[in-house]
Amino acid sequence: MNFMTKMILISAVVFLLICIIAGGLAVAFLLSSPSEPIAQPPAQIAPPTSAWYQLYFTTPKYPDRDADHRGGLPDHLSAFINTATQSVDMAIYQLDLDNVTQALLVAKQRGATVRVVTGTDILDDPKENPSFKQLQKAGITVIAGNPNAIMHNKFVVVDRAAVWTGSWNFTENDAYRYNNNGIAIQSAELARNYTATFEKMFNDKKFGGPRKPGGTTPRLTIDGIAVENYFAPEDKVADKIVARLKKATGTIEFMAFSFTDDDMGDALLERAQAGVKVRGVFENTGSETRFSEMTRLKNAGLDVVQDGNPYLMHHKVFIIDGKTVIFGSFNFSANANESNDENVLIVDDPSLAQQFQAEFARVYAQAKNPPKK
């Protein structure tokens, strides 16, 4: 039974139990007070799901309270890791979540091979590495990357059959204070791509900088949906993104933690001049520096705003014509393109695009009416 099937069955059982309990309570209330109207239970909002993916977004609350730091992406990732029977490969920039760390330890205890790669800057920082030290103490090998670049990936491969990826680092801040996305994808072919890239880092110690492409299938089909999958620095990811932006005919929406790539900025300006409606949200931090694309896009009349999250807006997303989504760990910068270890998905699926558009609408609305910290 694969990961998606397990998750769907669990959701169905939980929903059935809720219905049975709610029905029993409603009947009891009706018998005791027939003249009173019966209140309907609140609707349960499930994560967007298809046969091949489960998509999640963080939902920061303001003011921020530690009591609200529960559930959400950490639980979903832990459940994803808990499906492993053979192997877990994790490439993660930052990790400090106890339940994710415990899920890795338990996976090893039940016999799965667990391997981890992270960045040298993270592993060498005493404030950053307690979770990694805990894994190493349990006999899990943790490999550190190139000190001259950043191992910036945030992906997990389970049983070489399913992939978790997105913008989300596995930390409390990223889970409960920052705007982020995470997606679990059931695809052995996609998993082969991520495994091949993982092994370049874990086995061959090839991190960042010049690295030969190969070992992956950039274009694939998952459940009838066209997907492109690229890795930086070897795949010249920025060129792939620019090419897609230039094909936009109706709309481009973006959420950018860091956006300093001039070619992408040029593509947005050119498309806007051609009549494409361009809207974007920039993370506030650094958005007004001379390196950022925000000022020149704004001066050209594009609808771009600084985000309203009092912490960080950490998405790296383009949505094109309401049918294509570009997302992953890849910031829109030269460092991401030329030196960091990164991954990107380009998915041609209107349903997925619609869900990212809903997130864009939330982030854009928050930018217009920022909450207090």
* Residue 295 lies inside a defined structural domain of this protein: yes
152 is catalytic: no
pLDDT at 215: 86
* Residue 162 lies inside a defined structural domain of this protein: no
pLDDT at 65 exceeding the cut of 50 = yes
pLDDT at 174 exceeding the cut of 80 = yes
Between 11 and 64, residue with greater pLDDT: 64
User: What does the block give as tokens for 56?
Assistant: 């999640």
Q: In this structure, are residues 170 and 94 in contact, taking their beta carbons and an 8 Å threshold?
A: yes
* Residue 292 lies inside a defined structural domain of this protein: yes
Q: In this structure, are residues 211 and 233 in contact, taking their beta carbons and an 8 Å threshold?
A: yes
* Residue 320 lies inside a defined structural domain of this protein: yes
Nearest-CA neighbor of 342 among 245, 207, 239? 207
pLDDT at 47: 58
Give per-residue pLDDT as tens, 113-165.
999 999 988 888 877 789 999 999 999 999 998 888 899 999 999 999 999 99
* Residue 157 lies inside a defined structural domain of this protein: no
pLDDT at 26 exceeding the cut of 60 = no
pLDDT at 237: 98
Q: Which pLDDT band, with edges at 50, 70 and 90, does 288 fall under?
A: confident
pLDDT at 235: 95
| Structural domains in the chain (count) | 1
Q: In this structure, are residues 157 and 291 in contact, taking their beta carbons and an 8 Å threshold?
A: no
- Residue 264's CATH number: 3.30.870.10
From the number of C-beta atoms within 10 Å of its C-beta (0-12, 13-18, 19+), residue 350 rates as: middle
pLDDT at 12 exceeding the cut of 70 = no
* Residue 27 lies inside a defined structural domain of this protein: no
Three-state secondary structure of the chain: CCHHHHHHHHHHHHHHHHHHHHHHHHHHHHHHCCCCCCCCCCCCCCCCECCCEEEEECCCCCCCCHHHCCCCHHHHHHHHHHCCCCEEEEEECCECCHHHHHHHHHHHHCCCEEEEEECHHHHCCCCCCHHHHHHHHCCCEEEECCCCCCECCEEEEECCCEEEEECCCECHHHHHCCECEEEEEECHHHHHHHHHHHHHHHCCCCCCCCCCCCCCCCEEEECCEEEEEEEECCCCHHHHHHHHHCCCCCEEEEEECCECCHHHHHHHHHHHHCCCEEEEEECCCCCCCCCCCHHHHHHCCCEEEECCCCCCECCEEEEECCCEEEEECCCECHHHHHCCEEEEEEEECHHHHHHHHHHHHHHHHHHHCCCCC
- Please identify which of the residues 64, 263, 321, 348 carries the catalytic annotation: 321
Q: 331 to each of 275, 342, 343, how far by Cα in Å?
A: 26, 9, 10
pLDDT at 214: 76
Mean pLDDT, residues 305-328: 98
314 is catalytic: yes
- Please identify which of the residues 152, 154, 314, 315 carries the catalytic annotation: 314
Give this prediction's pTM. 0.86
pLDDT at 33 exceeding the cut of 80 = no
Range of the domain at 313: 219-368
* Residue 315 lies inside a defined structural domain of this protein: yes
pLDDT at 39: 31
Between 33 and 228, residue with greater pLDDT: 228
Q: In whole angstroms, what is the distance from residue 80 CA to residue 98 CA?
A: 15
From the number of C-beta atoms within 10 Å of its C-beta (0-12, 13-18, 19+), residue 76 rates as: middle
Q: In this structure, are residues 346 and 326 in contact, taking their beta carbons and an 8 Å threshold?
A: yes
Q: In whole angstroms, what is the distance from residue 250 CA to residue 320 CA?
A: 8
Mean pLDDT (the chain, rounded): 89
Q: In this structure, are residues 296 and 226 in contact, taking their beta carbons and an 8 Å threshold?
A: no
* Residue 303 lies inside a defined structural domain of this protein: yes
pLDDT at 38 exceeding the cut of 60 = no
pLDDT at 55: 98
